Amino acid sequence: MSDVSFMERLLDGVEVEWKPLGEVSRFINGRAYKKPELLDQGKYPVLRVGNFFTNANWYHSDLELEDDKYCDNGDLLYAWSASFGPRIWEGGKVIYHYHIWKVVPNADLILKKFLFYLLEWDTKALQGEHATGSTMMHVTKGAIESRLVPIPCPNNPKKSLEIQAEIVRILDAFAAHTAELTAELNLRKKQYNYYRDQLLSFEEGDVEWKTLGEFADNLDSKRKPITSGLREAGNIPYYGASGIVDYVKGYIFDGDFLLVSEDGANLLARNTPIAFSISGKTWVNNHAHVLKFDTYAERRYVEYYLNSIDLTPYISGAAQPKLNKKNLESIRIPNPSPTEKERIVTVLDKFDALTSSITEGLPREIELRQKQYEFYRDLLLSFPKPEEVET
């Protein structure tokens, strides 16, 4: 890669000094909140660790605080409890929780984005070496501040910042490519959902409707769990409600089947697969229904249909909601001609490969680009350490 060759020339003979993070930046704690201070509506959103990564449910606050208890677009943040890692914040002005640090670099010594990449690169090692706590792991402020980071050309700040800027430019290019592919994947998923819904929408009277019990043979009586103490490690996939949970020696089923989650909470949340096909030798426990179909098109057609509809009306039980066998087999499914089912499956299989397959399509491309980014990030940030600072 020409950029890496350029970096090798740029770094040739360059002195590198490893400095504690506390010497090149400040880590400012957020604020702890009492329950009455967290509001459903308010002037400022309160950024907690859950919101930092995935949770869309926000609390708000009307509190007016010191300036350093707010963060805004462009600030470098670091989540240090339960979940770990840095992020350049782009969500507007918020109050950040005390499980998050605002990281303020010394602009004369280190670029903010260079520091971000260093923190990201070091997160996994930091977790392994300095994480404490049995129920909620966390990294202490002292531990993060004593962490060593490389500063090239420490005696020539202008040259140092130029080198840092080149490293940032290269890594930004890799990250941008991955982000573009991810955005493309999200668009394709929306397109897939649209066409799936269009292809699987039938009005009463347009086609014959059958119950799932009429479509498939139910093989639930053959499934059984293996207690963890009796499992022998092997290469046979052992399936539960939402996918593979282990690999074992023995098998119950051999062939092509459709598994449908029995777990009501899983079916309502839809965070994991609801209906999914399996092939070959497999073991299935009693948290997933096992269905056998006459043809590939029948199985995949039903799989696509079940994943497109609301199964809430078929879930029963308050304490432990589930989709029982009787309710499963009563689900009504439109039954177009075999030719039409094959056409629908062919179209949706192509979308599925593009949006979901880890061996082809965009997910594979994103995985490869992420690995490429991580490879060059490690290469560009792995400055040699002198013996006196070896850890």
Instruction: Please tell me which residue, 84 or 95, carries the higher pLDDT value.
Output: 95
Question: Structure pTM?
Answer: 0.62
d(CA 264, CA 306): 14
Would you put residue 11 in left (φ > 0), alpha (ψ -120 to 50) or beta?
alpha
Query: For residues 344 and 333, is the Cβ–Cβ distance under 8 A?
Result: no
pLDDT band at 218 (very low <50, low <70, confident <90, very high): very high
Q: Do residues 37 and 43 lie in contact, with contact meaning Cβ atoms separated by under 8 Å?
A: no
For 312-330, how does the pLDDT look when each residue is reduced to its tens digit (9 = 90+)?
Answer: 889 887 678 889 999 999 9
SS3 302: helix
φ, ψ at 109 (rounded to 5°): -115, -35
DSSP state letters, 74-140: T-EEEE-BSS-EEEE--S-SEEEBTTEEEEEE-TTT--HHHHHHHHHHHHHHHHHHH-B-SSS-B--
Give phi and psi for 290, each to the nearest 5: -120, 120
260 pLDDT more than 60 = yes
pLDDT digits (tens, 9 = 90+) for 142-187: 888 998 888 998 889 999 999 899 889 988 888 888 888 878 878 8
Concatenating the DSSP letter of every residue in 176-196 gives: HHHHHHHHHHHHHHHHHHHHH
Q: Tell me the per-residue pLDDT of 15-61, one tens digit each, with 9 for 90 and over.
A: 888 999 999 999 999 988 888 888 888 899 999 888 887 777 899 99
- Residue 289 · residue 239 · CB < 8 Å: no
Domains and CATH numbers, the chain: 16-155 (3.90.220.20), 203-335 (3.90.220.20)
Q: Is the pLDDT of residue 387 over 60?
A: no
- Residue 6's pLDDT band, with cuts at 50, 70 and 90, is low
Q: Which amino acid is at 294?
A: D
Q: How far apart are CA 289 and CA 306, in angstroms?
A: 13
Report which residue type is found at 312: T
Q: What is the mean pLDDT of residues 340-355?
A: 87
Please, how many CA atoms are within 13 Å of residue 133, restricted to the half-sphere of its CB?
Answer: 12
In degrees and rounded to multiples of 5, residue 168 shows phi and psi of -60, -40
The 3-state DSSP class for residue 276 equals strand
CA 60, CA 43: separation in Å to the nearest integer? 7
Residue 202 near residue 334 (C-beta atoms within 8 A): yes
